Amino acid sequence: MLTLFYILSAITLGTAFLTIFSKNPIHSAIYLVLCFFSIAGHYLMFNAQFLAIVHIIVYSGAIMILMLFTIMLMNLNKEGEKSKNAWSQIAAVISFCLLALVLLATFIKAQQPEYNYATKGADFQSIKVLGQVLLNDYMVPFEFASVLLLVSMIGAVLLSKKEHINN
């Protein structure tokens, strides 16, 4: 089990770095899909099968398809694009290092609170319980999220439309 964790972690980190450092945006998106699948493997190791399947369907399926359409619509694969000057690259590296330092200090200073959970005998990993909570207690936010995704998809299509000039 521990070796499987290390293998999945290596795949996750490797594909994450390849996503960042890949020159081709399509290759970068493919590496990100592989990273999502390895994260779903981590969920399976945690015995959260439903979360793994939802992760694959939502992220590897829907989100990555939308990202690929966006990449293709924007035509980001331009070979002749100028590279950034040295000052902006140095500023980006300094900003990244400062942000990493702040995050690292936050994680070091953070203490994990200890909770005493009272068990009621309910299985909270059950799909039935999750469905009841999601569609009873959180029905309105769930519907707002679906409407927000629909409006953003329509907005993306309208923004990508090209106007025809009639002469």
Domain ranges of the chain: 1-77
Buried b (16+ CB within 10 A) or exposed e, 141-160: eeeeeeeeeeeeeeeeeeee
What would the two tokens of residue 98 be?
């400062």
- What is the pTM assigned to this prediction? 0.55
Dump pLDDT digits (tens) for 53-105. 888 888 887 777 777 777 777 665 555 556 667 888 888 889 888 988 988 88
Per-residue pLDDT at 39: 93
The CATH architecture one would assign to domain 1-77 is Up-down Bundle (1.20)
Per-residue pLDDT at 157: 72
Q: Is the pLDDT of residue 112 over 80?
A: no
Tell me the mean pLDDT in the region 118-146. 74
Asked if 58 and 50 count as a contact pair (C-beta separation under 8 A), the reply is no
**CA atoms of 55 and 36, how far apart (whole Å):** 8
Where are the alpha helices (H) located in 22-162, listed in sequence order? Answer: 25-45, 49-55, 64-74, 86-109, 127-132, 139-160
